[in-house]
């Protein structure tokens, strides 16, 4: 009898622990609200820019600051 009661208590506690883990969520409170609001208002700058080469006038995309296309750089 005592063994059956212990087993039932262990099962009951295991089920309660699973329920607690399943219910654990991030609650929307005062500290997370500014983060959620900022996501919609922050505009990210693109890393790749469209640039016109100073030497040949060719339009190309790059993430560097240089104003010369790759072909003109190779000719140097």
pTM for this predicted structure: 0.41
**Torsion of Cα atoms, 9 then 10 then 15 then 18, to 10°:** 140
Dig out the tokens for 74 from the structure.
């190779």
The residue written with tokens 């030497």 in the block is 55
pLDDT in tens, 6-41: 888 888 878 877 666 555 566 556 666 677 677 767
Beta carbons of 49 and 61 less than 8 angstroms apart: yes
Nearest-angstrom CA–CA distance, 15 and 48: 53
Residue 45 binned pLDDT confidence (cut-offs 50, 70, 90): confident
Dig out the tokens for 60 from the structure.
């190309």
């Amino acid at each position: 009898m005592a063994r059956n009661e212990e087993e039932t208590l262990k099962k009951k506690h295991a089920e309660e622990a699973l329920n607690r883990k399943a219910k654990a969520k991030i609650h929307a409170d005062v500290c997370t609200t500014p983060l959620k609001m900022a996501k919609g208002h922050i505009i990210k700058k693109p890393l790749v820019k469209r640039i016109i080469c100073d030497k040949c006038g060719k339009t190309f995309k790059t993430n560097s600051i240089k104003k010369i296309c790759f072909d003109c750089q190779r000719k140097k």
